[in-house]
Structure 1
Amino acid sequence: MSASTLKRTRRNPAPALKPEQGRGGSSIERQRRKLLVPFVGPAFLFYTVLFIVPAIAAVWISLNEWAGSGPMTFVGFKNYIQVFQDPLFVKSFGNTLLLLFVVGAAIFILAFAMTLVLRDMAAKKIARNVIFFPHLINALVFGILAGFIFNPGGMVNSLLKPLGVTEPPAWLAQDNIFPLIMATMVLTTTGYFTTIIMAGVDRIPPYFYEDCALAGATALQRLRYVILPLTWDVFGTCAVLWTISSVKIFEIIWVFGGSSGAGLPPTQTWSVAVYTYVTAFSGMSTPAYGAATASAIISLALVTVLVVLLRRAMRRDAIEF
């Protein structure tokens, strides 16, 4: 090859090989598009029928007055305005926030404390199973048991009488029942989040603790600089799970509150989920499906906003280990 030919070759190199292309792109892209319909289509159809269509229908119902049968009357945002002006909804909304923040804080503090206590125990697996067991019991069962335990002739008052308490507290009185419901939620849920947090702590490699020991770090420093940063994503996941669960709390309030003999739970104990059910199906001469659906959409909006804020507030750079 002559020098002039070599210079031309360097100046104009041979074009790189390109995949076979046509109007529809490369052959691999066309194959992907062909597989998109049979693989993604059924899942998308399933999701549309079970989630998207009911969601659109719920929004439409919330904009109408409807008794569950017969014609609908379009009223716009009247249902939303009436819901926010209803003192029962305001009370229910406040109770839901108490369950979300107060009960949630108690659950996470206890769960993290139990994780630190059980982490180095020889019988850690047995203890973890024991504390997780209450979560396996249905909330309805816990509500019924709690009603029997705290009723005037229940187990708690029977144990207080030998101690000289002649007039035991009225545990199921309207002023006392909501704190009992909150305490029961802490009891039934702490074990579940303890298991998740403990799994996050267990995945931390031992050499982190060895480095802390060599550096002479205290237990508080190890907690601050090793355990919390490396389990921060676990706490974020638990916070999202509890946010979703707390807004949906219904069964234990309904059963626990109804155990006082009044049928419906006292209004002091209502959550948004209970308010929605009562508005739609019970306690009213004419069911108001439009108002009930509006309250359900408000709770959905609350969950969405809180989850977005939680994800933003707890966002940190991922630590690989």
Structure 2
Amino acid sequence: MSFNEWAGAGPMTFAGFANYARMASDPVFVTSFVNTMWTLFGVGAAVFVVSFALTMLLQNMLGRKFIRLVIFFPSLVPGVVVGILWGFLFNADGLVNTVIGGLGVDDPPGWLSQEHMFKIILLGIMWLHTGVYTVILMAAADRIPRDLYEAADLAGATPWQRFRYVTLPLMWDVVSVCIVLWCVQALKIFEFILVFTGTGGLPDRGVWNLALFSYAEAFPTDGTPAFGMAAATGMLILVLAMVFTVLARWVLRRDDVQY
């Protein structure tokens, strides 16, 4: 379908690589591609930094099972619900501005303005996914024998050294799988951005990613559907997922650690 022009009904018209050429020259597509890369690398880095930090903090904490459940809770809620909730929290009369106003700030930022909206979306995506990877990494850390940590304590290791030389090497296989999962997941994020503004239509084009760009081409609010362009974008997402998965597996390849 990506090599054809098709409005969703009637015969297809062969177009060769015209959809791909038009896609590459479309400024909205370029913005969507850049936003997708920000999600993949920027949010991904933040998600794993926070997940590692929480794993270190909660590893020996009392009540960590309950805290783990609290952290994981956002992942149990459908992304559509979380996206709507996140939008309400940051609107002009939302909870965030109410709290800021209570602290004495008379003119809080317009969180849903074009200047700040994409940053708030990235923050929401990070909050939504951090719990999943924290729980997975904590489960991997729990399987490490306790006597290794006791030996590290006897050697005078700091908490960072315990993590760097004991925890991380012994759960590296799980970390590599999590990074591969994130590479695929980040390219498919869709409903959170779609419903974030709560307008019932498409959000501002400045916050689109590749998935939303593909959807907008197939189901535009005005104009003729372009299923060929939507399919070309879908093929690009597939290729990116394959490339980043292979690269991640190659970069993260390590010899197995026995314990």
- If the length of structure 2 is used for normalisation, what is the TM-score? 0.95
User: What is the CA-CA distance between 1:262 and the residue it aligns to?
Assistant: 7.9
Deviations 1:218-239 (A, max 9, x none): 3333222211111111110110
Secondary structure at the aligned position of 1:317 is classed as coil
Q: Which protein, 1 or 2, shows the higher relative CO under an 8 Å CA cutoff with sep ≥ 6?
A: 2
Is 1:297 the equivalent of 2:254? no
Once residues 225 and 131 of structure 1 are traced to their aligned partners in structure 2, the CA distance between those partners, rounded to angstroms, is 26
Distance in 2 between the 1:126 and 1:146 partners? 24
How far apart are 1:98 and its partner, in Å?
0.3
Structure 2 CA distance for aligned equivalents of residues 283 and 265 of structure 1 = 11
1:131 aligns with 2:84: no
Tell me the residue number matched to 1:282. 220
Residues 1:245 and 2:166 are matched in the alignment? no
Size of the alignment, in residue pairs? 259
Q: Secondary structure at 1:174's aligned position in 2?
A: coil
Matches within 5 A, 1:19-34: none
Matched, 1:225 2:168: no
Pairwise CA distance, 1:280:
0.6
Cα separation, 2, equivalents of 1:124 and 1:251:
31
2:38 maps to 98
Matching residue's letter, 2:207: T
Q: Does 1:81 align with 2:1?
A: no
Q: 2:204 aligns with which of 262, 266, 271?
A: 266
**Residue 167 (str. 1) matches residue 107 (str. 2):** yes
Residues 280-304 of structure 1 deviation map (CA, whole Å, 9 limit, x = unaligned): 1123411110111001100110110
Give the residue type in structure 2 aligned to 1:296: G
Give 1:180 deviation, angstroms.
0.5
Match of 2:122 in 1: 182
- Identity across matched positions, percent: 49
1:213 positional shift: 3.0
Q: Tell me the TM-score normalized by structure 1.
A: 0.78
Equivalences for residues 2-151 of structure 1 within 5 A = 61-151=1-91
**2: CA distance between counterparts of 1:212 and 1:248?**
41
CA distance in 2 between counterparts of 1:117 and 1:173 reads: 36
Counterpart AA for 1:299: I
Return the letter of the residue paired with 1:254: L
The structural deviation recorded for 1:242 is 0.8
Contact 1:278 1:284 in 2 (8 A): no
Distance, in Å, in 2 between the alignment partners of 1:201 and 1:319 is 14
- 1:211 Cα deviation after fit: 2.5
> Which one is further off, 298-307 or 203-212?
203-212
Is 1:314 the counterpart of 2:244 in the alignment?
no
Equivalent of 1:207 in 147, 151, 175: 147
What is the CA–CA distance in structure 2 between the aligned matches of 1:215 and 1:142, rounded to whole Å?
45
Query: In 1, Cα distance between the equivalents of 2:161 and 2:105?
Result: 46
- Which structure 2 residue ranges, 5 or more long, are not aligned? none
Equivalent in 183, 191, 194 of residue 131 of structure 2: 191
Partner amino acid, structure 2, of 1:202: D
SS at match of 1:175: coil
> Which position in structure 2 is the counterpart of 1:46?
none
Partner SS for 1:274: helix
Structure 1 or 2, whichever has the larger Rg, is 1
